[in-house]
Amino acid sequence: MAKFNYVAMDSRGKETKGTLDVANQNEAISRLKEMGYFPTKVAEAEKVKEKSDKKKAAAQNDEQPTDEGRRGLIARKSAENHHQTDGQMNKR
């Protein structure tokens, strides 16, 4: 059995967090649904700790993590800034 951390919503939209001791991620999701929750994030506890350790190490080395999420955020912010600049130029 492995430990899985989860974030889930109840039927009223309230967020809940916790840990389940199950065989795999699919079982964790099934268990949450049986409990009446809508899982939004389920990850093995060991893997979450490894990612956290990697981010801490990167911060200590003054390096920024370059995962897909961060690159996507940078691209989205760039597009938003470009769109705002275009709007300001059209008003002049």
Report the candidate in 29, 26, 45 with the shortest Cα–Cα distance to residue 37: 29
The mean-pLDDT minimum among 43-47, 50-54, 61-65 falls in 61-65
pTM of the model: 0.52
pLDDT digits (tens, 9 = 90+) for 64-88: 444 555 555 565 666 666 555 555 5
Higher pLDDT, 9 or 46: 9
Exposure string for 42-62, b = 16+ CB within 10 A, e = fewer: bebeeeeeeeeeeeeeeeeee
- How far, in Å, CA of 59 to CA of 66, rounded? 12
The yes-or-no verdict on residue 52 having pLDDT over 80 is: no
pLDDT at site 50: 62
Give the mean pLDDT of the chain.
76
Residue with tokens 């649904």: 33
Question: What average pLDDT does this structure show over 25-40?
Answer: 96
